[in-house]
Amino acid sequence: MMKLNLKPNLAVIVVTVALAVNFSEASVVRKTRQTCGCVESYQPTCSCQQSSQQYSCSCQPTTPCSCASSQSSQYQVQTSQCVPACRQSCSQQCQTVANPQCESTCQQSCQSNSCNPMTSTPMPASQSCLPQCQNNCMQQCTQQQSVEQCQQICQEQCNQECGVSNGQQDSTTGYGYNPYNPYGYGQVQNQNQNQNQYQNTQCEQQCSSQCTQQTSSSCQQCQSTCQPQREQVITIYISASLPQSSECVPQCQQTCQQQCQSVQQPSYQNCAPACSTSCSQSCSQPAQMACQVVQNSGAAACGCQSNYSPTLTENLRERRPDGMTADADLLEGYDEELGGNEAQKRDCKGITTAVIVVLFIMALIFAALVLFTPLFASTHLPSKRLNISDLRNLRYPFGEFQFTLDNPNTIVMQSWEGVELVEDGVSRLLFGRESGGEISPSADLKYFALTDHATNPGMNPQNETYHLKIVNNEERITHDVGLRGKESTVQAFKWNGKFNDFVFVENNKIYYKTAPEEKGVVKVSNGGQNTVDGLFDWIYEEEIFGKKDALWWSPNGNRLAFASYDNHLTRNISLKSYHRLNSYTIDTNLHYPKTFAKVLPSYTLSIWDKRTEQARQMDVQLKDSLSYHYLLAVKWLEINGTERLVSVWTNRYQNEIALTICDWESAICHLEFEYKYAAKRWVSHDDFNTMIAFEDTLYFLLPHDLRGNAFQQIATLRLSNGQHRTPKFLQLGEFDVTSIEGISPKTRTLYYHAAAPRPQQRNLFAYTLLEKADKSVNCVTCGITNCSWAQAQLDDEMTRAIVSCKGPAAPHTTLMNLTGNVKQEKADYAELLEDRSYQIKMEEAALPVIITEKIKISDDYDALIKLSIPRDVYHRDKSRAIPLLVHVYGGPNDQNTKDTTQVGIEEIVASGQQVAILRIDGRGSGGRGWKYRSAVYGQLGTVEVDDQLSVIKVVLRLYRHMLDANRVAVFGWSYGGFMTLSMVNEASENFFKCAISVAPVTNFAYYDATYTERYMGDAPLESYSDVTRKLDNFKTTRLLLMHGLLDDNVHFQNSAILIEELQNKGIDFDLMVYPNQAHSLSTRTSHVVGKMSQFLKQCFASEK
């Protein structure tokens, strides 16, 4: 594919565009008027409000743009058609916002003498005269006299001409001289006026009431500028071969200043510095893959002072729904006067001149491109849409990184090739991958354990075993692991983190070997048919620990802690698998306690000492020992120089915890700390999984109440305080801490991860524990290029960190040096490894343009959105609206708008079908404190559904020129499948054209007890949402239901009940079942993508 390289021609284009702006000064008035869609006799008034960063636009007679820095400046236009138009607009606009009182309040404001949504007070007749007079007077006067003299002269002169006595000021509207509005333009709101929370709706109503003389499309242009509380981030993937600092910044400044200066007073001088500040922050550094532009509601177009960020993407002709501006936008587009009423006066000479100038400039630009652009084949532009093969091709080629035990300068890396050693930015293969199984190296990298799945006829995950062998990489000798050599299959395996000895689980018992070469084994435990040692059952693996083995080596390698469970009383579910040439199905049982189950698996904790070869079961001393308790966390910690085992337990509803410290000698786990969570809060395994100890103090995560919200913060518990132990919180800030990484013993610096600076991000932070030191919080990884989602792994000395960056551009990994000085901690890093072939694949891939925004949904809550637009549609084809696919999950504490690069099934389908993807985080989502998390407690399937629907309506309105509101589909998997069905049920008829639900929960009474009761508490069955009770909307919304028959997570029972109800109601739908497939349908991905693509193609092509 050939490419026009614009790199050498930027200067030429900048010059030509600048010439175009100068030549078209005569038509700037007409162009800026079109910002609000004002008719010929009206001019736009732009305004800024510092407290909310509001950018509003209205029309008034012959008054250029003005800006009040701390108070909004607005002007109302009276017409005989204002009241009916205002009321009609109220009804339309109130349907798209989450405010039940919107319409009644708005209708009352549409008075015959005052068509003003902001206030019901009649406006003085002088309003249409005074601003115009003052403006004209000031423009003429300031050419000969000072501004101060002109203010006095013009005020007296215009007061007399407009029938206002000198010094008179209307008490309601606040007219007269104002230091923030020295020219007297427009209306300044009274300080005591009640500010409506729904400014977005008010602004749009105001636009409608002011635009009654305009066309409908013009009013929509005005409304599109009304975006208070909107912070938009646009991420565009571009070639890494282009030096962004040399192109992004100049182009940003050029566009910004054109827009800013074209609407400013001649005396305004702040465009250049304001644009420079904004563009230097918005544009990326050299060799970046993405350039992010942050919009603050278009304030810069009004010429706000430097504390406002000028908006590169605001278009003075019209604010496009995609938020971006084409080159020389002021010179192109439809002029409303050319298509206006015949009765309107036209400037034919000016129009002709403008057209000639535009054609001439376009010819210059084209000539510059042809003359100065070399033609050559390029691999840096996307040449095709994403397809199913990209799910593998675009996966990050490097896996897990970890520091080696003996040499901190050497890093071990897992890759598709095998295990590699990384030194000084160069990798070498240490051990090649022989099959698709896992490779686990020993502590000194001498041995490598290889696991391959053994035959599992029933495909029951509880019965999964492995063939295990260990290879001596120096001598290339292989050793089989198991009691029966090659014939053995093991259930779990664990290296000692300090030496080359290990343990494995076979037949529910734990065995120990001192070295791979040793013949004999040591029996550690006595598990059997009903008691299982060293393993977690399905519930614990899925919902708490996230792993199968229940084994923990002590840091010094001398002791092993392990958990055991007895589940012979736990109820089972039956899994059926189907096999060719087998006359009968293979039926297996899986222990699966469902919601309201009377019996849950019971766990014990033991410690085994390899020196004495003795195991002791711990006596865990809990106050409420007769009630059921989950084992929540297990961790070896060094407390006051001694290694101790810490275990955390929680009650059935997971809102109370008990922390114990276990003693080997006495075989007792002593109760050290208890905590009861506030209402509608719960504990998570992650809160204690990264728990650490420093000297005599424990550090873990608890909710910390802060100014109307509560955030997961680091709590400290000093164990030497006797029995009266109250946790204290580190003063970190209003954000959620997600994990604790460690404390540097030399500098006493604590490192942790947090959802900050924005909740969609993850970064490593540093905090000093020194008493007299600066306690300011420092983001360590925020300075890494293209790394807004960072996961850091620190070495034991806390001097270096491996940082895996998963967004917003191509994933990459860096090696960072840590100083331990919080004030001086900066992003001192270098790329750990570079894979140029992977970078080229990412550049060639047609990754979408990402737009993220924050949208207000009620008085107290905002929603975060992530909108993905196909790149070729975004850059080339903005003339047609495209369908929208809403990808929903919505589970408690989940984040669907993470600032990561995503290439999943939905991206493949959307790229192929040229569909936009919308992801929403509303109430119930994580990363923004308990205010959001707790909103769904006890009522899953309610408020999170409402928020999704409300935000979809707003997004369709904001991006109406790009998104087709008549072609909206929703897709979700698992909890997202439940949300998909619920959203269609709760939406208006025909709102969704089609829906795809994969492996949905239809009622959480059918799901596991641990997950459900964590969020529903002890709520009765009547409180549970059942999506099968209300299905009438599926008579007009097409449904594709997909489910694996071997789903061990969300059982097919859920879909079976749904299918029966759909059939009972006579509803036609599409069904795709997958035999022998579990919850993820992992071996049928290609078929899933094909079916979804075909379904959406037919859905969007058909008429409702």
Map 761-793 to HEC letters: CEEEEEEECCCCCCCCCEECCCCCCCCCEEEEE
Give the model's pLDDT for residue 1091.
Answer: 96
Quote the CA–CA distance of 1042 and 1082 in Å, as a whole number: 13
Give the model's pLDDT for residue 15.
Answer: 40
Q: What would the mean pLDDT of 712-719 be, rounded to a whole number?
A: 95
Using 50, 70 and 90 to split pLDDT, how confident is the model at 124?
very low
Give the model's pLDDT for residue 343.
Answer: 38
Percent of the chain past pLDDT 70, that is, above it, reads 67
DSSP assigned state of 461 = G
Q: Which CA distances in Å does 264 have to 27, 257, 300? A: 15, 10, 10
**Residue 128 pLDDT greater than 70, yes or no:** no
For residue 328, the Cα-to-chain-centroid distance in whole angstroms is 33
Residue extents of the structural domains in the chain: 35-332, 847-1101
**Residue 570 pLDDT greater than 80, yes or no:** yes
Mean pLDDT of the chain: 76
Q: What would the mean pLDDT of 72-96 be, rounded to a whole number?
A: 47
Q: What is the pLDDT of residues 190-228, one digit of tens each?
A: 223 223 333 444 444 454 444 443 444 444 444 444 443
Q: What would the mean pLDDT of 429-446 be, rounded to a whole number?
A: 88
**Residue 155 pLDDT greater than 90, yes or no:** no
**Residue 108 pLDDT greater than 50, yes or no:** yes
Question: Where are any strands of DSSP class E within 264-322?
Answer: 290-296
Closest C-alpha among 94, 97, 122, 123 to residue 106 = 94
Quote the CA–CA distance of 529 and 133 in Å, as a whole number: 94
Quote the CA–CA distance of 221 and 409 in Å, as a whole number: 58
Quote the CA–CA distance of 1001 and 526 in Å, as a whole number: 38
**Residue 704 pLDDT greater than 90, yes or no:** yes
790 compared with 772, residue with greater pLDDT: 790
Q: What would the mean pLDDT of 543-553 be, rounded to a whole number?
A: 97
21 compared with 522, residue with greater pLDDT: 522
Using 50, 70 and 90 to split pLDDT, how confident is the model at 278?
low
Cα maximum dimension of the chain: 109
Amino acid at residue number 813 = T
Give the model's pLDDT for residue 268.
Answer: 34
Report the chain's C-alpha Rg in angstroms: 33
Using 50, 70 and 90 to split pLDDT, how confident is the model at 363?
confident
Q: What would the mean pLDDT of 987-994 be, rounded to a whole number?
A: 96
**Residue 322 pLDDT greater than 90, yes or no:** no
- Structural contact between residues 749 and 767, judged by C-beta atoms closer than 8 angstroms: yes
Structure tokens at 615: 């195991």
Q: What would the mean pLDDT of 107-111 be, rounded to a whole number?
A: 53
**Residue 38 pLDDT greater than 60, yes or no:** no
Q: What would the mean pLDDT of 980-1006 be, rounded to a whole number?
A: 97
Q: Which of 75-79, 466-470, 511-515, 549-553 has the least mean pLDDT?
A: 75-79
1020 compared with 344, residue with greater pLDDT: 1020
Q: Which CA distances in Å does 554 have to 90, 463, 558, 561, 694? A: 67, 28, 6, 8, 17
**Residue 300 pLDDT greater than 50, yes or no:** no
Give the highest mean pLDDT range of 37-51, 234-248, 733-747. Answer: 733-747
Name, in order, each residue with C-beta under 8 angstroms of 1036's C-beta and a sequence gap of 6 or more: 989, 990, 1104
151 compared with 612, residue with greater pLDDT: 612
Is the overall model pTM greater than 0.85, yes or no? no
Give the model's pLDDT for residue 152.
Answer: 74
Give the highest mean pLDDT range of 370-374, 413-417, 942-946. Answer: 942-946
Q: What is the pLDDT of residues 42-69, one digit of tens each?
A: 344 443 333 333 334 443 443 333 322 2
Using 50, 70 and 90 to split pLDDT, how confident is the model at 284?
very low
Quote the CA–CA distance of 662 and 636 in Å, as a whole number: 10
Active-site residues, by number, are 974, 1047, 1079
To which CATH superfamily is domain 847-1101 assigned? Alpha/Beta hydrolase fold, catalytic domain (3.40.50.1820)
Give the model's pLDDT for residue 579.
Answer: 92
Q: What is the pLDDT of residues 879-918, one digit of tens each?
A: 689 999 999 999 999 999 999 998 888 888 888 889 999 9
| β-strands 466-472, 447-453 pairing | antiparallel
DSSP assigned state of 585 = -
* Cβ-based neighbour number of residue 389 at 10 Å: 10
- Structural contact between residues 1059 and 878, judged by C-beta atoms closer than 8 angstroms: no
- Structural contact between residues 957 and 951, judged by C-beta atoms closer than 8 angstroms: no
